[in-house]
């Protein structure tokens, strides 16, 4: 039995390492490519180990163009989208979960069907609206567009979390004198922390990687997010592959870091929710 148990633990560890290697390999390959010289890059034998003598390519990539400004714009847009989506998603999900009204099923169904619409289909009407309201070529307009696109997903995730909480919790809070807003924000919201963290991650990633809205609504280079700026490097004859890979890796790492940061709160929220439930 002990041998089987040890074999099972070893097998699981190997499986985790294999999955981790598959997931992390694209990042590693971008890192290696950025540190590969031209001669080795176009040789028939791929270089599997990084050449750390070329580590300065990352400093050169940051110094070239408006990379830091693009990253800051992406962070502003992604963070703003996350805040707006969560701020509107919580009351919307609570209303769909706890209140009964005419057309409730149709509203939930409409939220679901909005995810079947491609971004390209929404560009023209949003462009017309933003032109009339003065939101073109502004980070605020891009935040609102991204938040509107991801809000249905966030609301459906949070609605499922609210549905998992017994209504007796609401009734007990009201008996103790809590107002409706207090029931929502002081009692229920802490119980759905894992769902809020998941919705925040989805909203942040959606806005961080979004390209169609950004390239359409933002035409000032200083306001472009990194997704548009990095795409602009592709095809430029004076931009080396190493620089493109370095910029792409720099663009990817903040999103990975945010996911690792949020994952801790997802796990902590799941534990807290289990205890409180």
Residue 41 has pLDDT above 80, yes or no: no
Is the residue at 59 inside a domain? no
Same domain, 165 and 141: yes
- pTM comes to 0.83
Q: What is the pLDDT of residue 142?
A: 94
Q: Give the tens place of pLDDT for each residue, 123-146.
A: 889 999 999 999 999 999 999 999
Q: What is the pLDDT of residue 5?
A: 65
Q: Give the tens place of pLDDT for each residue, 49-66.
A: 888 888 888 888 787 768
Is the residue at 74 inside a domain? yes
Same domain, 130 and 30: no
Alpha helices per DSSP H over 35-118: 38-41, 56-63, 67-98, 104-114
Q: Give the tens place of pLDDT for each residue, 147-196.
A: 999 999 899 889 888 888 888 888 888 888 878 788 888 888 988 888 89
Same domain, 82 and 19: no
How many CA atoms, within 13 angstroms, populate the side-chain half-sphere of residue 134? 0
Is the residue at 60 inside a domain? no
Q: Is residue 119 within 8 Å of 212, Cβ to Cβ?
A: yes
Q: What is the pLDDT of residue 237?
A: 54
The dihedral region occupied by 165, where left means phi > 0, alpha psi between -120 and 50, and beta the remainder, is beta
Instruction: Please report, for the domain that includes residue 257, its CATH number.
Output: 1.10.3720.10
Give a three-class secondary structure readout of the chain.
CHHHHHHHHHHHHHHHHHHHHHHHHHHHHHHHHHCCCHHHHCCCCCCCCCCHHHCHHHHHHHHCCCHHHHHHHHHHHHHHHHHHHHHHHHHHHHHHHHCCCCCHHHHHHHHHHHCCCCHHHHHHHHHHHHHHHCCCCCHHHHHHHHHHHHHHHHHHHHHHHHHCCCHHHHHHHHHCCCCHHHHHHHHHHHHCHHHHHHHHHHHHHHHHHCCHHHHHHCCCHHHCCHHHHHHHHCCCCCCCHHHHHHHHHHHHHHHHHHHHHHHHHHHHHHHHHHHHC
Same domain, 26 and 94: no
Same domain, 40 and 70: no
Is the residue at 61 inside a domain? no
Which two structure tokens, joined as six digits, stand for 167?
A: 């209504």
Q: Domain residues for 197?
A: 66-276
Same domain, 216 and 145: yes
Same domain, 35 and 72: no
> Mean pLDDT across the stretch 25-39?
84
The Cα–Cα gap between 265 and 197 comes to 7
Same domain, 142 and 40: no
Q: What is the pLDDT of residue 170?
A: 84
The number of domains in the chain is 2
Same domain, 104 and 220: yes
Q: Give the tens place of pLDDT for each residue, 73-123.
A: 999 999 999 999 999 999 989 988 888 777 777 887 887 777 777 878 888
Same domain, 134 and 7: no
The Cα–Cα gap between 55 and 72 comes to 23
Q: Is the pLDDT higher at 277 or at 184?
A: 184
> Mean pLDDT across the stretch 234-254?
77
Same domain, 49 and 125: no
Beta strands in the chain (DSSP E): none
Same domain, 107 and 144: yes
> Mean pLDDT across the stretch 204-209?
92
Is the residue at 147 inside a domain? yes
> Mean pLDDT across the stretch 23-45?
81
> Mean pLDDT across the stretch 197-225?
91
Which two structure tokens, joined as six digits, stand for 38?
A: 């031209």
215 Cβ neighbours under 8 A, 6+ residues apart: 228, 231
């Amino acid at each position: 039995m002990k041998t089987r148990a040890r074999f099972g633990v070893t097998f699981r560890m190997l499986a985790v390492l294999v999955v981790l290697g598959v997931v992390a390999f694209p990042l590693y390959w971008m890192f290696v490519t950025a540190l590969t010289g031209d001669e080795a890059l176009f040789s028939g034998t791929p270089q599997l180990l990084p050449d750390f003598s070329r580590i300065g390519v990352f400093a050169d990539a940051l110094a070239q163009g408006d990379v830091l400004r693009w990253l800051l714009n992406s962070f502003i847009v992604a963070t703003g989208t996350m805040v707006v989506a969560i701020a509107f998603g919580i009351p919307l999900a609570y209303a769909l979960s706890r209140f009964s009204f005419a057309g409730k099923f149709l509203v939930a169904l409409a939220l679901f069907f909005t995810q079947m619409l491609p971004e390209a289909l929404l560009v023209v009407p949003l462009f017309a609206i933003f032109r009339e309201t003065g939101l073109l070529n502004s980070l605020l307009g891009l935040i609102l567009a991204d938040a509107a696109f991801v809000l249905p997903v966030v609301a459906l995730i949070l609605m499922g979390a609210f549905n998992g909480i017994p209504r007796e919790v609401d009734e007990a809070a009201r008996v103790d004198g809590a107002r409706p807003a207090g029931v929502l924000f002081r009692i229920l919201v802490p119980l759905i922390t894992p769902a809020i963290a998941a919705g925040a991650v989805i909203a942040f990633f959606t806005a961080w990687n979004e390209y169609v809205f950004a390239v359409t609504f933002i035409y000032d280079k200083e306001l472009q997010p990194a997704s548009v700026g990095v795409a602009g490097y592709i095809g430029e004859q004076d931009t080396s592959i190493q620089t493109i890979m370095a910029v792409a890796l720099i663009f990817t790492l903040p999103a990975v870091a945010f996911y690792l940061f949020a994952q801790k709160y997802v796990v902590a929220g799941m534990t807290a929710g289990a205890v409180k439930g």
